[in-house]
Amino acid sequence: MKTSLVVRRVVAGALLLGSAVAASKPNILFIFADDLASYELGCYGGQNVATPNLDRLAAQGLRCTHMFASEAMCVPIRSSLYTGLFPVRNGACRNHEAVKPGTKSVPHYLEPLGYRVGLTGKVHVRPKECFPFTSVPGFEPNCVALTADYKVDGIRRFMTQNPQQPFCLFVCSTLPHAPWTVGEAARFPPDKLKLPPIWPDTPELRAAFSKYCAEVEALDRQVGDVLKVLEETGAAQNTLVFFGGEQGAQFPGEKWTLFAPGVNSALLVRWPGHIKAGAVSDALVEYEDVLPTMIAAAGGTPPAELDGRSFLPVLTGAQAAHREFVYGIHNNVPEGRPYPIRSIRSRDYKLILNLAPEQPYHEKHVMDIDRENYWKATAAAAARDSAVARPLDRYLKRPPVELYSVSKDPWELENLADRPELAATRHELEAKLHAWMKEQGDTGVALDVEQPQPAKQKKKKGKSP
């Protein structure tokens, strides 16, 4: 009897200790959108779509105004988010590319700190051994599916299956990724929409944007449902919540470019008792910084070999600044013919180097697949309307060097690269960008080349294929 009593007391003590350890470490929830134009959210000044759930999250925590994707396409930026490494260093510097063998990601860093690490929805990184997330059912994984149906039961089970152990869960929506078939587009009359100033204004593009706005609205509902589950589990007070927008929308001048709407992402962060409600930060941050921030919040020490650096002091208000510069990379293959681009941005200026600008820019999803038929119509309109031609020419025909005063020109409309008074600024940024490329092992043009296709073998007569 005495032995049994001792065992029960030991077990009870272990459970209490486990609860205390779990309480000292926050749960981590990262909700990730897919191709979200940050300027469409109400909390970022959006005027087309009501986003009450995301606006509420911003009001309860901190809104980052200068969060950047280092590459505006899905596989590279997700690989960077999960590994804390820039695209060339992790290996996924072109779309649909695997990271280097042996590359570590979130589960490798948080599981030793006591976390269960899961993911539901879109994965879009490989190989599996480098990204060993626990698969959580619930969200649509296929970003080009015609539906985005979801259930929260799997999320609830993952959050509650072991109260003594903290969790880290990525909820990866496929909204608002093309083909824009989810939601109620009729709620967004095309002629009433306010378009970004970088777009050509045509009826066909407005019609496509209407469908896009419907998916942004549907995304907001998803976010609300996920946060509701978190509240119902009783874990909300001890959960560090991130919402990230990934890269910009699949419209000219956004995704697959290094222009501001392509790489300037939404980031909202809530952590009750640690992050001041309604805070706004203009610190320069990149997605590579998220993993080390999670590690620091979990009580660990971010490895020095990561490219990212923890911005936890920014979130808690202990410091205002983070990075001095943020960097960008674009390799166009396999999404179009080679068109390598690199960028660097300080608080006030942004430099873009188009490393092989001899041919016009070409991206197959926008220009060839053209599901909404807005590209062909816009190109035809440009032949007779200079107002349509100007933004189209900016998208297609780019000079070797672009320099923008981003503090005064946030949409990057006026290229100042040849201004004599900015020669020193241009030289400094070019030097720092080339130094970063060298540090990363980035060979520039050589990284963005057509991949050789295996030769087709002729079938021999009388032989089965």
Contact at 8 Å (CB) between 268 and 383?
A: no
Which of 293, 320, 347 terminates a domain? The answer is 320
Q: Which of 290, 320, 350 is the last residue of a domain?
A: 320
Q: Residue 89 maps to which CATH number?
A: 3.40.720.10
Q: Are residues 113 and 247 in the same domain?
A: yes
Q: What is the pLDDT of residue 20?
A: 42
**One domain for residues 389 and 310:** no
Q: Are residues 107 and 150 in the same domain?
A: yes
- The answer to whether residue 458 sits within a structural domain is no
Cβ neighbours around 192 below 10 Å, total? 10
Q: What angle do CA 225, 247, 48 make, to 5 degrees?
A: 60
- Taking only the tens place, the pLDDT of each residue in 350-394 is 999 999 999 999 999 999 988 888 999 999 999 999 999 999 999
Assess if residue 457 is contained within a domain: no
Domain for residue 376, yes or no?
Answer: yes
**Distance between CA atoms of 94 and 393, rounded to whole angstroms?**
25
Asked if the structure places residue 120 within a domain, the reply is: yes
316 and 334 share one domain: no
Neighbouring residues of 20: CB distance < 8 A, sequence distance ≥ 6 = none
Same domain, 362 and 305: no
pLDDT computed for residue 224 by the predictor: 98
Same domain, 228 and 352: no
Burial 405-415 (b: 16+ CB within 10 A, else e): bbeeeeebeeb
CA distances from 115 to 170, 301, 367 (A): 13, 15, 44
CATH of the domain at 413: 3.30.1120
Domain-located, residue 160:
yes
Residues of the chain where predicted confidence (pLDDT) is lower than 70: 1-23, 451-465
Same domain, 309 and 415: no
- Note whether 295 and 402 are same-domain residues: no
Which contiguous run of DSSP H or E holds residue 90?
A: helix 87-90
N- to C-terminal Cα separation, the chain: 73
Residues 96 and 162 in one domain: yes
Residue 32 belongs to a domain: yes
Domain's final residue, options 286, 320, 354: 320
Number of other CB atoms surrounding residue 100 within 10 Å? 12
What pTM value is reported for the model?
A: 0.92
Residue with structure tokens 């290094």? 258
User: Domain range for residue 344?
Assistant: 329-447
In this structure, is residue 228 part of a structural domain? yes
**Could you give the number of structural domains in the chain?**
2
3-class SS at 175? coil
Residues in Cβ contact with 158 at an 8 Å cutoff, skipping those fewer than 6 apart = 116, 118, 120, 134, 136, 167, 169
Q: H or E element: which one contains 213? A: helix 203-232
**Quick one: 102 and 206 in the same domain?**
yes
What 3-state class would DSSP assign to 215?
A: helix
Same domain, 42 and 149: yes
Pair (340, 261) in one structural domain: no
The C-alpha R_g of the chain, in whole angstroms, comes to: 23
Q: Which amino acid is at 453?
A: Q
User: Does some domain include residue 266?
Assistant: yes
Which pLDDT value is given to residue 283?
A: 98
- Element spanning 400, H or E: none
